[in-house]
Amino acid sequence: MRTRVAIIGAGPAGLLLAHLLDAAGIDSVLIERQNAEHVAARIRAGILEAGSVDLLRRAGLGERLAREGMEHRGIHLQWPNERHHLDFVDLIGRSVWVYGQTEVTKDLLAARERAGQAAFYAASEVTAHEIDGERPYVAFVDAAGRPRRVDAEIVVGCDGYHGPSKQAIPDALRHTWERNYPFAWLGVLADVEPSTDELIYAWHPDGFALHSMRSRTVSRFYLQVTPDENIGDWSDDRIWDNLATRFALDGWTLKTGAITEKSVLPMRSFVTTPLRHGRLFLAGDAGHIVPPTGAKGLNLAIADVALLSRALIAWLRDGDTAPAATYSDTALERVWRCTHFSWWMTTMLHRHGDDFDARLQLSQLRRVVGSRSAATELAENYAGLPMPGLD
Ligand code: RFL
Ligand code: PHB
């Protein structure tokens, strides 16, 4: 089988890239390890930057988002006995949107189906070949167990942190940076109306807690736990007790409901460079992972794809390879900014170290809510730097 762009991985990065290429008349084939139902059901990120929302709208994917998404002016920052609202709209004129990654993925899967372009789900043994030459290809075994090969002009690895694409870049050329944090998140989805208008990021002596949401009837919570936490030790009652303690504030009560999902998420920072070698490009989690405290992972994947789609369209439609030549360096500038911001939010809000660290964290939190310039710095990063491709 021949196509112009072979895309490994049908997460948000791969699906969005396929959609943007299709809109420019460039065909692609998606090769995904999981089946489509699994891809659509994964519960992950929940916050879209204003720039991500604009990009999805311009790509014709904004209809359900406008109807079901919830626009937030900012976030609440909390520590014992104090809760402060940071109003991004007031500070920098930009908002963020609550619209789950699950919903973005469903919209993209539906668009892919409408476009009628090829996709192989439940593929195994997926490998990229000949990326140094003119005729790269992807080999894999399809859902029926048949060996297959997709020949392409370009191969894009959108296969997440565990995917094989980055290994196709020679070891001698690759640099990676990784930090594993000494804590994890217990993520909880519950059928209960959110107890807050906008997200609450809470510092607490027992550990960080985050109150997020998915809709007017579904809340999303996270609790800081240890990386080797046994989920079986967290009964629903224990979860609600911990949430109530960490979010406690006079005159405020936490509404409780049926917990429908719980899981433990590791926290890590990871960057691999370069994001391009020959005819192979990396986008999204395949190239970088951030801890979720800054709500950046999905937005960064969207930003990579915005930039990469432009570069590939310039190359494949107009014969201009200049944007592809600068893709890695340009994308990495944003990646490192988001890596720093996510590390900073994580370090400021999670309990680690000793009482000295706690005093520094509380001082930093007071500074953020007490100084317009400190608050603006957080707002600019959280609501997102300008998105490439939207000028
Ligand atoms: P994805 O979504 O991981 O998609 C990669 C796709 O590649 C497929 N794949 C393969 N396909 C073919 N062959 C192989 N050998 C393959 N190996 C893997 C996978 O099945 C998958 O479909 O990466 P993408 O598209 O770059 O999107 C990035 C976002 O998904 C990610 O940044 C965020 O979801 C990160 N993240 C979160 N970010 C937030 O901002 N807030 C969150 O609350 C949040 N929660 C999470 C998360 C990531 C998680 N993972 C990866 C463990 C929760 C989890 C559980
Ligand atoms: C979420 O709703 O899943 C979410 C929101 C904000 C974050 C991380 C996760 O920083």
Report residue 385's pLDDT band, with 50, 70 and 90 as the boundaries: confident
- Structure confidence at residue 116 (pLDDT): 86
Torsions phi, psi for 159 (to 5 deg):
-100, 25
307 lines ligand 1 (CB under 6 A): no
Percent of the chain residues past pLDDT 70, beyond the cut? 99
Ligand 1 mean position to 4 CA, how many Å? Answer: 24
CB 276 within 8 A of CB 157: no
Looking at the predicted structure, is the pLDDT value of residue 388 above 80?
no
Q: Name the nearest CA neighbour of 29 among 162, 165, 160, 151.
A: 151
Average pLDDT over residues 78-106: 97
Query: Other C-beta atoms within 10 Å of 350: how many?
Result: 21
Q: How far is the C-alpha of 387 from the C-alpha of 94, rounded, in Å?
A: 13
- Structure confidence at residue 267 (pLDDT): 96
39 lines ligand 1 (CB under 6 A): yes
- Structure confidence at residue 264 (pLDDT): 96
Ligand 1 mean position to 160 CA, how many Å? Answer: 5
CB 234 within 8 A of CB 114: no
Looking at the predicted structure, is the pLDDT value of residue 189 above 60?
yes
384 lines ligand 1 (CB under 6 A): no
34 lines ligand 1 (CB under 6 A): yes
CA torsion angle 37 39 45 46 (round to 10):
-40
Report residue 91's pLDDT band, with 50, 70 and 90 as the boundaries: very high
211 lines ligand 2 (CB under 6 A): no
Pocket test for ligand 1, best of 298, 304, 305 (most atoms within 8 A of CB): 298
Looking at the predicted structure, is the pLDDT value of residue 391 above 60?
no
> Relative to the CA of 299, which ligand 1 atom is closest?
40
Q: Name the nearest CA neighbour of 239 among 177, 179, 201, 187.
A: 187
List the domains of the chain with CATH numbers. Answer: 5-70+99-177+268-351 (3.50.50.60)
Q: In the chain, where does DSSP find H-type helix?
A: 12-23, 36-41, 50-58, 63-68, 88-92, 101-115, 236-246, 297-318, 322-349, 355-370, 372-383
Report residue 390's pLDDT band, with 50, 70 and 90 as the boundaries: low
Average pLDDT over residues 202-210: 98
Average pLDDT over residues 60-76: 96
72 is annotated as an active-site residue: yes
292 is annotated as an active-site residue: yes
201 is annotated as an active-site residue: yes
Ligand 2 mean position to 10 CA, how many Å? Answer: 21
Task: Tell me the pLDDT tens digit for each residue of 289-338.
Answer: 999 999 999 999 999 999 999 999 999 999 999 999 999 999 999 999 99
Averaged confidence pLDDT in the chain: 96
Looking at the predicted structure, is the pLDDT value of residue 34 above 90?
yes
31 lines ligand 1 (CB under 6 A): yes
Ligand 2 mean position to 45 CA, how many Å? Answer: 5
Q: Name the nearest CA neighbour of 132 among 330, 324, 250, 277.
A: 277
Give the sheet arrangement for strand 5-8, strand by strand: 119-120, 28-31, 5-8, 154-157, 280-282, 276-277
Residue with tokens 């790509």: 59
- Structure confidence at residue 155 (pLDDT): 98
Average pLDDT over residues 24-53: 93
Choosing from 12, 274, 291, 292, which is the catalytic residue? 292
Task: Tell me the pLDDT tens digit for each residue of 169-187.
Answer: 999 999 999 999 999 999 9
What b/e sequence results for 25-48 when a residue is b if at least 16 CB atoms lie within 10 Å of its CB, and e otherwise?
ebbbbbbbbbebeebbeeebbbbb
Choosing from 76, 166, 211, 296, which is the catalytic residue? 296
Could you tell me the two tokens for 278?
Answer: 């020959």
Q: How far is the C-alpha of 266 from the C-alpha of 25, rounded, in Å?
A: 39
- Structure confidence at residue 113 (pLDDT): 87
- Structure confidence at residue 168 (pLDDT): 94
Query: Other C-beta atoms within 10 Å of 195: how many?
Result: 18
pTM over 0.85: yes
Average pLDDT over residues 236-240: 98
Looking at the predicted structure, is the pLDDT value of residue 387 above 90?
no
296 is annotated as an active-site residue: yes
Specify the DSSP class assigned to residue 258: E
288 lines ligand 1 (CB under 6 A): no
Which residue puts its alpha carbon closest to atom 4 of ligand 2?
A: 46
* Antiparallel, parallel or unpaired: β 74-79 and 28-31: unpaired
- Structure confidence at residue 386 (pLDDT): 83
Looking at the predicted structure, is the pLDDT value of residue 22 above 70?
yes
For the chain, the C-alpha Rg in angstroms (whole number) is 21
Q: How far is the C-alpha of 84 from the C-alpha of 76, rounded, in Å?
A: 5
Average pLDDT over residues 67-92: 97
Ligand 2 mean position to 253 CA, how many Å? Answer: 21
- Structure confidence at residue 40 (pLDDT): 87
Percent of the chain residues past pLDDT 90, beyond the cut? 94
Ligand 2 mean position to 171 CA, how many Å? Answer: 34
Which residue puts its alpha carbon closest to atom 42 of ligand 1?
A: 45
> Relative to the CA of 296, which ligand 2 atom is closest?
10
Q: At what angle do helices 372-383 and 322-349 cross, to 10 degrees?
A: 130
162 lines ligand 1 (CB under 6 A): yes
- Structure confidence at residue 389 (pLDDT): 64
Q: Name the nearest CA neighbour of 78 among 243, 318, 213, 274.
A: 243
- Structure confidence at residue 311 (pLDDT): 98
Q: How far is the C-alpha of 312 from the C-alpha of 319, rounded, in Å?
A: 9
Task: Tell me the pLDDT tens digit for each residue of 338-366.
Answer: 999 999 999 999 999 999 999 999 999 99
- Structure confidence at residue 115 (pLDDT): 86
Tell me the ligand closest to 291's alpha carbon.
1
Q: At what angle do helices 50-58 and 297-318 cross, to 10 degrees?
A: 40
